[in-house]
Amino acid sequence: MHFGSLRFKLTLWYVLILGILLISFSSFLYFTLSKSLHRDVDNKLRSLAELIASESSSPLSKFGFGNIDQALETSMNLKPIGKFIQVLDESGNIGRKSDNLKNVQLPISLNALKNASKGLITFETNRSLGNTPLRIITFPVIENNHVTKIVQIASSLEEVEDALNKLFLILIITVPLALMVAILGGQFLAHKALKPVDNITQTARMITSQNLNQRIIPPKVKDEISRLIETFNEMISRLDQSFRQIKQFSSDASHELKTPLTILKGEVEVTLRKQRTPQEYQQTLKSNLEEINRMSQIVGDLLILSKADTGEIRLNKEDINLTEILNEIVAQMDVLAQSKKLHLSTSNHHQDVHIFGDALRLRELFINLIENGIKYTEEGGSIHITLQKEYPPPVKNQSNWVEGERGEFVKIIVSDTGIGIAKEDQEKVFNRFFRVDKARSREQGGSGLGLSICKWIVEAHQGEIKVESELGKGSSFIVKLPLSSPLMMN
Ligand SMILES: Nc1ncnc2c1ncn2[C@@H]1O[C@H](COP(=O)(O)OP(=O)(O)O)[C@@H](O)[C@H]1O
Ligand SMILES: [Mg+2]
């Protein structure tokens, strides 16, 4: 076990807390028991002293004189075992003693004598008589407001101290023993609790970009560790997914570039086979230029997407007049539409819709969408562009809802009467390199990156893009852009 390991720290804390707990509990037990035992001794001494005092000062008493043991037995039928009794006169001279004192006498301290003369009781512990410690009460007997006698009773503390010593011995042995067991138990518990973490570490160590399909087997019980494992597995899934996408993307990209290169190579090789006329060379070069343009378009698009992925492109957002921009684009694209005998029209429900955005990128977005409409619509069809503001219903009980500030957006719909997109392809058209009909799209100069770029532009403006389409009838691309105030934008 490493000293820096979680296992060691957990065990250490566990043992430390248990140790503090056990030691405080033991001390509490020892001191309360000691106090209670000593109080018991004192109480017994005091009640016996009170009894003797009242008996000896009573005028009807048979306490009389002479041997104190006999006197106690005859007057009170009392045989105090293990108690040493002596009675002194008011100035401290020994009067009568119990037999068990023989020729010794109980010591009386100056302090006790002083207290007694004031009528106060004194308890003292004395260790000067033999080996056994004695607890002595010095009890003044008061008659007619005068101290006439002093009763002293002593009791051995041997039993009390024996009991306390035994307890001390038991505790001093069992507490460290319990702590030793706690160390083992703590280690076991920490080991058991942290075992799944080791499993995670091992699996994580094995995972590379080559085997991202590996998962950690989650335990059956749901707890913090299982949640960690779930989260970890989800993270690997996401990594797996993005790695797959990256692989797919690079294979698609190289494939896409390979076709024009092959064509280029073929054309050049064929042309070089023999002497050609200047017209023939011109023809080849023209065709070459087409492929070069296509490649440069693809490379340019790829560059935009990869920069967008890494967040390298900064949008130049400013207040722009969307209506104006759309009208300009439509005027430009009309030439293209007319050449294909298509009808391009717009309907603006609002004059001068302003949004906060990057004019250049938004231009690219709408050109892409209208171009697609033109590309995928047969001669004689039409393309229609609608611009409308939308207001969400006001939220009840939301006092800070101010009309014109929250949740408003502008909707731009580019719809055509073209070939349409099958249901199962509608989600995929925004994927990179996706084309419903590769040959046809290529013929038209498309590489399948246009809509991916559109999606990125819309999302960079906190908007949404979706498509509604029916095969053979036409498609509508719907773009929603927020009308938020510049302050709310980044
Ligand atoms: N207006 C449309 N009508 C029918 N299909 C469309 C339309 N716009 C896009 N598509 C389909 O979505 C695919 C992806 O579009 P896009 O990303 O712009 O690529 P490209 O135009 O280069 O083919 C197109 O190849 C086409 O199959
Ligand atoms: Mg396109």
Whether 431 lines ligand 1, by a CB cut-off of 6 Å, is no
**What's the confidence (pLDDT) of residue 397?**
53
The tokens for 353 are 């819709």
Chain position carrying tokens 């035992």: 37
Q: What is the pLDDT of residues 323-375, one digit of tens each?
A: 999 999 999 999 999 999 999 999 876 678 899 999 999 999 999 999 999 99
β-pairing, 409-416 vs 464-470, is unpaired
State the Rg of the chain over Cα.
Answer: 52
Per DSSP, the residues of 51-103 read HHHHHHH-TT----SS-HHHHHHHHH----TTEEEEEEETTS-EEEE-GGGTT
Q: Which ligand has the nearest atom to the CA of 377?
A: 1
Q: Which atom of ligand 1 is nearest to the CA of 436?
A: 27
Give, for 231, the enclosing helix (H) or strand (E): helix 224-272
Side-by-side strand order, sheet with 464-470: 343-348, 382-390, 409-416, 474-482, 464-470
Whether 475 lines ligand 1, by a CB cut-off of 6 Å, is yes
**What's the confidence (pLDDT) of residue 181?**
94
Whether 236 lines ligand 1, by a CB cut-off of 6 Å, is no
**C-alpha of residue 368 to centroid of ligand 2, in Å:** 6
**What's the confidence (pLDDT) of residue 245?**
84
Contact in structure between 179 and 18 (CB atoms under 8 Å): yes
Contact in structure between 121 and 141 (CB atoms under 8 Å): no
Model confidence at 222, pLDDT cuts 50, 70, 90, reads confident
Model confidence at 64, pLDDT cuts 50, 70, 90, reads low
**What's the confidence (pLDDT) of residue 55?**
79
Share of the chain above pLDDT 90, in %: 54
The tokens for 13 are 């804390």
Kindly give, in sequence order, each residue whose CB lies less than 8 Å from that of residue 224, ignoring residues fewer than 6 positions away.
Answer: none
pLDDT at 57 over 80: no
pLDDT at 266 over 50: yes
**C-alpha of residue 349 to centroid of ligand 2, in Å:** 27
Most confident of 118-127, 218-227, 443-452: 118-127
Model confidence at 484, pLDDT cuts 50, 70, 90, reads low
pLDDT at 65 over 50: yes
Whether 419 lines ligand 1, by a CB cut-off of 6 Å, is yes
**Mean pLDDT computed over 26-34:** 96
pLDDT at 403 over 50: no
Per DSSP, the residues of 141-153 read EEETTEEEEEEEE
In this structure, how many other beta carbons lie within 10 angstroms of the beta carbon of residue 81?
5
Question: To test ligand 1's pocket by mutation, which of 301, 372, 419, 432 has the most ligand atoms within 8 angstroms of CB?
Answer: 372
Q: What is the pLDDT of residues 2-24, one digit of tens each?
A: 777 888 888 999 999 999 999 99
Kindly give, in sequence order, each residue whose CB lies less than 8 Å from that of residue 79, ignoring residues fewer than 6 positions away.
Answer: 69, 72, 73
pLDDT averaged over every residue in the chain: 88
Model confidence at 421, pLDDT cuts 50, 70, 90, reads very high
Whether 381 lines ligand 1, by a CB cut-off of 6 Å, is no
β-pairing, 382-390 vs 343-348, is parallel
Kindly give, in sequence order, each residue whose CB lies less than 8 Å from that of residue 180, ignoring residues fewer than 6 positions away.
Answer: none
Task: At 343, give phi and psi (nearest 5°).
Answer: -100, 120
Whether 377 lines ligand 1, by a CB cut-off of 6 Å, is no
**What's the confidence (pLDDT) of residue 452?**
94
Q: Which ligand has the nearest atom to the CA of 442?
A: 1
Pairwise CA distance, residues 301 & 304, whole Å:
5
Query: Looking at per-residue confidence, does 471 or 69 come out higher?
Result: 471
**Mean pLDDT computed over 97-114:** 86
Long-range residue pairs from 63-72, CB within 8 A, at least 24 positions apart, any chain: 65/96, 66/96, 67/96, 67/99, 68/96, 68/97, 68/98, 68/99, 69/98, 69/99, 71/96
pLDDT at 489 over 50: no
Share of the chain above pLDDT 70, in %: 93
Pairwise CA distance, residues 348 & 386, whole Å:
6
**What's the confidence (pLDDT) of residue 406?**
54
pLDDT at 260 over 70: yes
**What's the confidence (pLDDT) of residue 272?**
94
pLDDT at 400 over 80: no
Whether 430 lines ligand 1, by a CB cut-off of 6 Å, is no
In this structure, how many other beta carbons lie within 10 angstroms of the beta carbon of residue 479?
24
CA atoms within 13 A on the CB side of 242: 6
Ordered domains of the chain (ranges, CATH): 6-161 (3.30.450.20), 224-306 (1.10.287.130), 315-395+404-488 (3.30.565.10)
